[in-house]
Amino acid sequence: MQTKTIPLITILLVLATVNGLTQHEKATSNEENMCNQGKVWEPSLEDPPRILEDPSRIEEVEPTWRVEGKGKKFEVENSEYLDITLRSTEEVELVLESLPEMVIIHISPATKKEKTVITLCGFKPLTKYHRYEDSYHNHQPFKTDNKGCYTYLQDLSKPHHVFIQPRTSTLFIKDDPTGGDCTKIGTWDWPTKTCTLTKDVDQTIEIDSNNITLDGANHTITGTGTGHGVHLHRKSGVTIKNLEIKEFYFGVYLVDSDNNTLEGNTATNNGNGFQLRDSNNNTLEGNTATNNHTGFELENSNNNTLEGNTASGNHDGIYLGASNGNTLNGNTLSNNDFGIWLHFADYNTLNNNLSNSGGIALEDSDHNTLNNNTVINGWGGIHIFDSCYNTLSGNTMFNNEENFGLSGEKDEHFDNDIDTSNTVDGKQIFYIKNAVNQVFDSTNIGTFYCVKCEKITVKNLVLEKNRSGIYFY
């Protein structure tokens, strides 16, 4: 991008249209909670969001491996694995995913019916598969018919997580004299409920009791590209540490699991390295995620702490989808397509994170706080799309193709608090609101935003490498 020197410019804004946006009256406090009301969240996509020729928008590519909604029939088409059709005799709320060697169903009742008959088609004919519900304990092997279909009775009294795989191999660690299967792969200390590995493992490990510690002792658990490396379902007080997990679809997978700790683990060459779904108040500290699709992914997971983790060479370093009140502190992200991505994620705090070549993006995400983060050497620094009431201070953006950008479709999307302690290539971000009859003349302004302003004079600015040099709304 060429350097642009801005000479003396006097701009009068009185209900005028500027940069394609129309000036309106500021939303009242009663409208504050209307920001992004009715927004619909979808989980992260197999294909990455990309900045278009107009970088103010993120392109969302519909995944070919996932469908969701309410109804009786669901179809996944053009999947890299299997094209699956699901029919239910009762209306259900459902997510259907067809992933490498794994079909996943998240099912909830849509009516007062407590059971439904599910028919799945699209599998290989006359082939054995393994269905699990919520836990690897709840195992039902089955064989498809000559059309590749399978029918079973599904409980609807509560939500369930169903996954189907072509093979089975699971070890269970639990609170008993031998630690379940612990003594097959390590040593068991019953008083402390600690299983310490003494060799590498090539099977899924499911934690079967609360308050268990799994110490990998720097051993490796290796998969075949499908399934879960370590699985927790509705568990609390569990610690997973010093373990390398590689070549699973999900490295460490927590579902409906709260108050657990993951520390000092490494996830490599998985679909997602560390996955939290509907899991709250967990701590992830000092973990490393390398060459996964997503290093750390939180979906519908609140009040978790991610501190001192490293994510490199992933598509997404850290992804928060519909996850609120989380703290990301002191994480290091490098060579990811996206460093940190917040998507329909509110009231999160990002402090002292370093993103090298991946950037930080907020989309439809409100009331977040970003303090003292450093974003360098990427396609974008910090970009905010359709997001309200966020606070930015002390953030450093340097040597990115577009250091800073903010855009929106309604007034509230421009109601963010961004002070001059934020810098782009060593110059201050000026994000001004409701200014009248003022002159801005400074060579230290790196990018200039003026929201609800009138009779503003801007002069003597040298602006480069941002989404917008001067932006009026």
The fold of 170-472 is Pectate Lyase C-like (2.160.20)
Element (H or E) spanning 436, and its range? strand 436-441
Residue 438's pLDDT is what?
82
pLDDT in tens, 376-385: 999 889 999 9
Answer whether residue 353 shows pLDDT above 60: yes
What's the pTM value of the predicted model, to 2 decimals? Answer: 0.81
Q: In one letter, which amino acid is 256? A: D
Counting residues of the chain whose pLDDT is more than 70, the rounded percentage is 84
Q: Does domain 66-165 have CATH number 3.40.50?
A: no
Domain chopping of the chain, boundaries: 66-165, 170-472
Q: Is the model's pLDDT at 49 over the cut of 60?
A: no
* Tens-digit pLDDT profile for residues 421-447: 999 999 998 888 887 778 787 778 888
Q: Side chain identity at 123, as an amino acid letter?
A: F
Banded model confidence at residue 52, pLDDT cuts 50, 70, 90:
very low
pLDDT(61) > 70? no
CA angle, 326 as apex, 324 and 328 as ends, to 5°? 140
Distance CA 155, CA 276 (A): 24
* CA 391-393-395 angle, 5° bins: 120
pLDDT tens digits, 162-186: 999 998 879 999 999 999 999 999 9
Structure tokens at 200: 């590498």
Dihedral of alpha carbons 184, 186, 188, 194, sign: negative
Q: 336 and 83 in contact (C-beta within 8 Å)?
A: no
DSSP category for residue 185: H
Which whole-number Å values give the CA distances from 168 to 9, 110, 137, 231, 253, in the listed order? 70, 31, 11, 14, 17
